[in-house]
Amino acid sequence: MKKGNKYLAFLNLNEPTERSLEYWNEEVNKDSKLKKYVEVLKIRKAYYVWSSTPGDLKVKGNSVQ
């Protein structure tokens, strides 16, 4: 990877379960910096990056390699 390279990434909605919300609420008690993340997670606006391949999809010109 070099500065200026472009890569294709996929964003997936992080759909919280009751159990995961319980976990993150406990973590907020340990680290208050997580509060904003938990708030966003609760309103279903949190995403994570995912790649469908074991490698990176590099964008070069008009094509994806």
Domain limits for position 21: 7-53
35 within a domain of the structure (yes/no): yes
Alpha-carbon distances of 23 from 1, 2, 31, 38, 65, rounded to whole Å: 35, 37, 12, 10, 39
Q: What is the pLDDT of residue 14?
A: 92
pLDDT at 31 over 80: yes
pLDDT at 53 over 80: no
Q: What is the pLDDT of residue 56?
A: 67
61 within a domain of the structure (yes/no): no
* Pair of tokens at residue 20: 């995961």
Rg (CA), the chain: 16
Give percent of the chain above pLDDT 70: 82
28 within a domain of the structure (yes/no): yes
Q: How many domains does the chain have?
A: 1
